[in-house]
A and B are shown apart, each in its own frame.
Chain A
Amino acid sequence: AQSVTQPDARVTVSEGASLQLRCKYSYSGTPYLFWYVQYPRQGLQLLLKYYSGDPVVQGVNGFEAEFIKSNSSFHLRKASVHWSDSAVYFCAVRSSNTNKVVFGTGTRLQVLP
């Protein structure tokens, strides 16, 4: 069964700094990988997704993520964060033969002005 690990429960950075949120997945086959963001009192919104091809995928608001198969990782990055990026970020994985999307525990990002 697939699983996702987000080792950092909280990350705090200053506005303008670069960001990396870590995600490692466990799945023996070809995974479909996602990053979602959750703002307070809202549902999750998709940031980006990876299915195949170029391992670096671009998302909304300047976010990108890199699929590294050898490391089973799909870290999220942003070159320069803004205070409005403060939210909870969830990494998720779906296997190619199931309809079930499994989420990580989330990383709460706080951007200091």
Chain B
Amino acid sequence: GPKVLQIPSHQIIDMGQMVTLNCDPVSNHLYFYWYKQILGQQMEFLVNFYNGKVMEKSKLFKDQFSVERPDGSYFTLKIQPTALEDSAVYFCASSLTVSNERLFFGHGTKLSVL
């Protein structure tokens, strides 16, 4: 079936550094999402993105966060600068439409901020 790919699967960085998480969504999908999951906890909505713009974002989507999908390539989540509390697994998802479509999730990128 359709797959969402996330690269890399694990990233380790020092606090204060910049990190970019990459997501290759399903090829014909138009809506993109990032979710954050701290180990053993709830999947928390961060942001959704359509037509080059952020549509909705949560309180977790701090000023240090940004998303983009330049020229239909990877859908990226950038954190600059990182903080210790950013350590989590970040899941990318995509959907074809917004109405009643399921989300297709990647396997997640585990971010460890030291």
Contact = CB atoms under 8 A, between A and B. Distances in A.
Contacts, number: 51
B12 to A, nearest CB: 17
Contact of A43 (B41, B91, B102): B91
B105 interface: yes
B42 A105 contact: yes
B45 A43 contact: no
Contact of B98 (A36, A51, A99): A99
A41 B42 CA distance: 15
B92 to A, nearest CB: 8
Nearest to A9: B40
B31 A46 contact: no
B25 interface: no
Interface residues of A, number: 21
A90 B108 CA distance: 16
Contact of A44 (B31, B45, B91): B91
A45 interface: yes
A10 B91 CA distance: 23
A46 B31 CA distance: 17
30 contacts: A32-B100, A34-B102, A36-B105, A41-B107, A43-B4, A44-B43, A44-B93, A44-B103, A45-B105, A46-B102, A49-B100, A90-B43, A99-B31, A99-B50, A99-B55, A99-B56, A100-B45, A100-B48, A100-B56, A100-B58, A101-B33, A101-B103, A102-B45, A103-B35, A103-B42, A103-B44, A103-B45, A104-B42, A105-B42, A106-B43
